[in-house]
Amino acid sequence: MPCSSGSWLIAQEARALLTRLARVEPFALHETMVAAAAPTLATRVEIDRYLAAGRRVLRHRVRTFVRWLSSPRGRTTPVSDIQRQFTLLRLQFNSVLAQFDIFADALTQRSEHRTGVWIAGLDALARDALVIPGVLERVPNLICYVDRGHGAAIRRARTRLPGGGESPVAVIRVPRERMVGSGIASSLVHEVGHQAAELLGLHRSLRPVLNAARRTAGRRAPAWELFLRWLGEILADAFSVARVGVGSTLGLIGVVSLPRVFVFRTSHDVHPTPWLRVKLSTAIGDRFYPHPQWRALERMWECFYPRDQAPKNALPLLSLIEEEIPAFVDLLASHRPPALRGRTVAQALTTADRRPERLAARLESWLAPPIDPNTPPTLAFAMLGQARLDGRMSPEGESYIAGKLLTMWAMTEALGTAGSTRPLALKPGCGCRQEVVAT
């Protein structure tokens, strides 16, 4: 085909882009889900408006390009230059589809029987985790979805999307293998912690403090260099402990219980060495909510992975970092970032009702049917995690109650009945109080 026909073919391809773009409809027109599984109206509107704006801009650019091709200047432009401009347009088209698919992954699953409703319940749990009265009140919308894989992830609100633009909402991926039990809260609230740390500016305010500590640490400086590298993940873990208590550490143990070579490996990754990460979590828990359970849980972890099984060349660094954990945790807990207006991190993030003894004392009356539907989701999962550690709840009972709670929160949101939802009735013999043998 001669070059003179090239511009005609490119024009046809550009018009084909328009036809395909026209088939990308708002989610409100083609997502099938029961009302209880749907995200909040504000979340749906924000996503659809953002994507519609992107399609509108691209549609205008393609139409302008097609008109330009038939103009005198377009007809005299070398076809190689025309092809270059069209290639850029097609890349923008692919970016629009990529952004659509990011949110489609989070919305399409809500058509799945039962799972869709549970995901809507996870939305409620994520919102409750992020909103902290007096600390974080005006927060971005969040939307959850499940996926295969071992860990969770978040695309924070206002971060760059493929092809440009900022995500209008926070999109949180949680592992399907954790559906459904108290461990789901550990993964989910950890990811919410990444968003919270960004909103509070904790990275910006803590890094100079850690750098100062590193400069004066002498031979212990390598430990503080790693604390700096791991800061983002440690902050998210700390947020999770503050919101769901020991359930956060139990969930973390479930995630990082890996073959020994990975548990002791110290790499340049942003994630702490798993063996140390659990110790950091228990140390943070003991600082936030002092109780003997944290030391007992740390000893249990050491039984799983005895330190003498660590590679000989790694043990000196692991021991050095372990020695510095108390000082690091104290620095973190007592830090006063500008966003907290004079309060420390520990004062701002912790609440008295998450103390282990209070969770344990409240559990019996809370589980007495019917369960109070107005219990904050993070408090409910904190009680489930505490009950699991104390041997007061079987895995079967935990899964049953967690599923019921997620369904109830989804219904509450769908019907707009916050504060007036019927108490949650539990069927007899669900195993909710079945004791397990403590090891």
Q: Residue ranges per domain, the chain?
A: 3-105, 201-349, 352-415
For residues 347 and 79, give the distance between their C-alpha atoms in angstroms, rounded to a whole number. Answer: 65
Pair 407, 117: CB distance under 8 Å:
yes
Q: To 5 degrees, how large is the angle CA 161–CA 166–CA 168?
A: 110
Looking at residue 424, what is its pLDDT?
53
Q: Which residues pair with 160 in a beta bridge?
A: 166
What pLDDT, on the 0 to 100 scale, is given for residue 227?
Answer: 97
Neighbours of 335 (CB within 10 A): 16
Answer for the pair 373, 407: CB distance below 8 angstroms, yes or no: no
- Is residue 253 helix, strand or coil? helix
Asked whether the beta carbons of 410 and 127 are under 8 A apart, the reply is no
Q: Which residue has the tokens 């699953």?
A: 109
Amino acid at 261: V
Q: How far apart are CA 117 and CA 122, in angstroms?
A: 9
Contacts of 204 (CB under 8 A, 6+ apart): none
**Pair 319, 311: CB distance under 8 Å:** no
Quick one: how far is CA 317 from the chain centroid?
Answer: 30
Q: For residue 82, give the 3-state DSSP assignment.
A: helix
Q: Please, which residues have CB within 8 angstroms of residue 400's CB and are 6 or more apart in sequence?
A: 426, 430, 431, 432
Q: What is the pLDDT of residues 215-239, one digit of tens each?
A: 999 999 999 999 999 999 999 999 9
Q: In angstroms, what CA-CA distances link 120 with 108, 144, 322?
A: 12, 7, 39
Structure tokens at 253: 């143990």
What are the tokens at 82?
């025309």
pLDDT of residue 327: 97
SS (H, E, C) 105-170: HHHHHHHCCCHHHHHHHHHHHHHHHHCECCCECCCCCEEEEEECCCCCEEECCCCECCCCCECCCE
Cα(236)–Cα(325) distance, integer angstroms:
16
What are the tens digits of pLDDT across the range 370-393?
677 788 999 999 999 999 999 888
Distances (CA, A) of 231 to 234, 235, 236, 330, 405: 5, 6, 9, 14, 33
- What are φ and ψ of residue 218, in 5° steps? 65, -125
For residue 146, the model assigns a pLDDT of 86
Q: How far apart are CA 422 and CA 37, in angstroms?
A: 19
* Residue 311 token pair: 């590679």
- Tens of pLDDT along the chain (439 residues) come to 455 567 888 888 888 888 888 888 887 776 677 888 888 888 888 888 888 888 888 889 889 988 998 898 888 888 888 888 888 888 888 888 888 888 887 888 888 878 889 999 999 999 999 998 888 888 899 999 888 766 789 999 989 888 788 899 999 998 877 777 778 899 999 999 999 999 999 999 999 999 999 999 999 999 999 999 999 999 999 999 999 999 999 999 988 989 999 999 987 789 999 999 999 999 999 999 999 999 999 999 999 999 999 999 999 999 999 999 999 999 999 999 999 989 999 999 999 999 999 999 998 788 776 677 788 999 999 999 999 999 888 888 888 888 889 999 998 888 875 444 455 555 544 544 443 322 2
State the DSSP code for 424. B
